[in-house]
Chain A
Amino acid sequence: MKHNKAQKFGMVIDLDKCTGCGSCMVACMSENNVPFRKDESNKLLSITWMRVYRLTNGKPFPNTDMCYLPRPCMQCAGQHEGHSPCVSVCPAIATDYSTETGIVSQIYTRCFGCRYCMASCPYHARYFNWWDPIWPDGMEKYLSPNVSPRMRGVVEKCSFCFHRYQLAKEKAFMEGRRNIEENEYQTACTQACPAGAITFGDLNNPNHAVYNMVKPDHKHGGRPRNPHAFRLLERLGTNPKVYYFSSRNWVRQAGDNYLKDEAKAKKPEHHG
């Protein structure tokens, strides 16, 4: 039987469309049984697989401009496929890179909580379960049966709703198909975004919207050919699969660090 062509699932987030409403965060938490506590005011302890940052250009009124930047796990491929910052350091192979989908997995029952992966991730996309999850009375009935809740002492992160991929594959298999359609596998945040700012699909498939939006240059680590598209911290060589899109120069520059002579634009300020 012929093998499927390797996929590379990725995301494009149009920052000109994002309103910062937080629907993506809510959908993500609900979909993936992300635990929470009564007091979530300390954001350094909150688990937010998808986190929306607020950026401003730092200029005074009336030139103030702002931008909301949703940040899921970047599903980094690294300099050579699979050499993600986190996957390469995990001592127990509790996180792995799938060359079939390009998704970085997290095996909760394998993780022993050393947190080296968190130290390695420049995007702070990985979270530790400092507490055991405790759901409000009755809420356990609303948990997703497709996603296992995590126990205390392990690391978790965005999986690009991998269980949805598995369900789509199962459905396709039952229908005698080898491949899944673009709309059969979409992440919860993509579907929840009311502004349609998030697009999800296969970066290897020219028929998918994400491919046409960024036109990834696979010979150069998937760098976007579209001049309005960029990736966070491109210069570190993490090779992420989440692309951002903006027509504003200062927003694109906020995606990476530049020396003074490389970028004259002032770095944006962060407020939450």
Chain B
Amino acid sequence: MDSALIPKGVKRCPLWQFLLFIGAAGIVLLWGVYAMLLCWFKGLNQTNMNDYYGFALWIWADLAVIAVGGGAFFTGLLRYIFGKDALKNIINYAVLIGFICYSSALLILAIDIGQPLRGWFIFWHANVHSMLTEVAFCLSCYFGVLTIEYIPLILENRQIDKVPFFHHLGHNMHEVMAVFAATGAFLSFFHQGSLGGVAGVLFGRPFAYREGVFIWPWTFFLFTWSAAACGPCFTILVTKITEKVARKKLVKDNAIELLAKISGWMILTYTIAKAFDTWYWFTVTAPSKGFTLMDFYSNNPLYGIWILVAEIGICGLIPAVILITDKGRKNSMTLWIAVTLAVIGVCLNRWVMVLQVMAVPVMTFDQWVLYIPSWQEVATTILPVAYGIILIAISYRYLPVFPNEPELNPIEPLDEEETAVESPVEFEQDLKPAEA
């Protein structure tokens, strides 16, 4: 029924199966939308946040999706600026994942503020000294860049591409994509960094506070670095999950392996930098405020020293070692383990830099406060996941997201009946390729 929209040379599941899949994800999406409307109309009393936890699950979700969405800018940088040509086979998907992550982040932010209708104040009354202002500007601009990067892919839909204007528009946008990739990398450097700065500048919170260079605390650089390191792992992870769901290979190994290798070295260097940062923090910064390392990791039921072991060791060194070795990244099982650990690691880091910051007592007569999110918070956090699944499903079905797919999965010649069904939409306008 929708075969006219499906890219040529690929096979897709029957429409009913596709709609069933979309419907299942749609139910979760609607659950999230209901929770979102509750928060908007009844206020943030629908959450379990409180005056100790002004920042909670949503801010973590924001930081986490932006970190894992970092695969878009870093893959774009490698592909268009550093000329890593093999990545052309995964760049579309990296952009799509980035688009989903950033649109999700903006949506969560819109739910998270107490007065959503005043959200524009952050632009209009901007405090240029606030890291959050920098986040808002760069994040919005980069979302614009991602949209621009995603549009050519939409224009490649079989039916849209038939319109000469859209065909040429898409082609010309491809031609100038390096400019947007560079802009995206520039913007990402700043908003990923300023998200790190959000915690790092909190000189009233010794757990979060870091020294740094000029106005930028070390967390500024660590956040950018970790997003560039672990973002591509998320791209690989989602690609692998998609391949499992679609039951076919979608991206050539050379693209995955190149991205995994670069990511591995980035994770290794990031982990070393993170270890140095942690060491300096607990030997110099925290003691200067009267705190020892164990003040931050004891006397509470959740936050123990295991977090540092998990973040630096299990989710840092292990994936790094796997990904930098040829054997490690070529083995499907170890590749899965490495990219999963890297994604968990960066999400754990963001959790620590938001939730644990709020939990640690600062005044001597204060105490640890833990928090469990309400179902409304959970639902609105799952909402973007459902939205992401739906957008990926639609894009995968109707857009040529994976250029290698026809080559990797050649279709057997159609029988007469199928050909007859296909024929009404097979006519093509004789379009000349756009000239660069």
Contacts and interface: CB of A to CB of B under 8 A. Distances in A.
Contacts of B290: 235, 256-259, 262
A89 B366 contact: no
B125 A120 contact: no
Q: Which of B52, B291, B363 has the most CB of A within 10 A?
A: B363
Contacts of A163: none
A132 interface: yes
A118 B51 contact: yes
A122 B54 contact: no
Given A112-B114, A115-B55, A122 B132 contact: no
A120 to B, nearest CB: 5
A130 B44 contact: yes
B205 A119 contact: yes
B202 A85 contact: yes
Interface of A: 42, 44-47, 53, 55, 69, 79, 85, 88-94, 110-116, 118-124, 126-132, 151-155, 232-233, 235-238, 253-260, 262, 267-270
Q: Which of A69, A126, A237 has the most CB of B within 10 A?
A: A237
Given A92-B122, A114-B132, A128-B51, A154 B358 contact: no
A268 B115 contact: no
B122 A91 contact: yes
A53 B287 CA distance: 26
Q: Which of A92, A129, A130 has the most CB of B within 10 A?
A: A92
Contacts of A151: 115
Nearest to A268: B365
How big is chain B's contact interface, by range? 35 or more
B51 A45 contact: yes
A88 B205 CA distance: 14
Interface in B353-382: 357-358, 362-367, 369
Q: How would you classify the secondary structure of chain B's contact residues: helix, strand, loop or mixed? A: loop
Contacts of A237: 203
A154 B50 contact: no
B365 A112 contact: no
A254 B127 CA distance: 35
A233 to B, nearest CB: 7
25 contacts: A94-B121, A114-B113, A114-B122, A115-B114, A116-B198, A118-B55, A119-B202, A120-B204, A122-B363, A123-B204, A128-B44, A128-B114, A130-B45, A130-B49, A153-B114, A153-B115, A237-B203, A256-B290, A257-B206, A257-B362, A258-B290, A259-B287, A260-B292, A268-B364, A270-B366
Given A45-B51, A151-B115, A236-B203, 5 more contacts: A114-B132, A119-B55, A154-B115, A238-B204, A255-B364
A59 B137 CA distance: 53
Nearest to A113: B114
Interface in B99-139: 112-116, 118-119, 121-122, 124-127, 129-133, 136
Contacts of A236: 203-204, 206, 289, 362
B366 A257 contact: no
8 closest Cβ pairs, A-B complex: A113-B114, A153-B114, A257-B290, A115-B54, A118-B54, A44-B50, A112-B118, A270-B365
Contacts of B54: 115-116, 118-119, 126, 128
A65 to B, nearest CB: 14
A235 B289 contact: yes
A254 B116 CA distance: 40
A132 B43 contact: yes
Given A122-B363, A268-B365, A110 B114 contact: no
Contacts of B369: 44
B300 interface: no
B286 to A, nearest CB: 9
B366 to A, nearest CB: 6
B94 interface: no
Nearest to B209: A236
Contact of B127 (A79, A92, A128, A258): A92
A92 B125 CA distance: 5
B43 A152 contact: yes
Contacts of B115: 111-113, 151, 153-154
Interface string B46-66: 000111111100000000000
B36 to A, nearest CB: 15
B201 interface: yes
B357 A88 contact: no
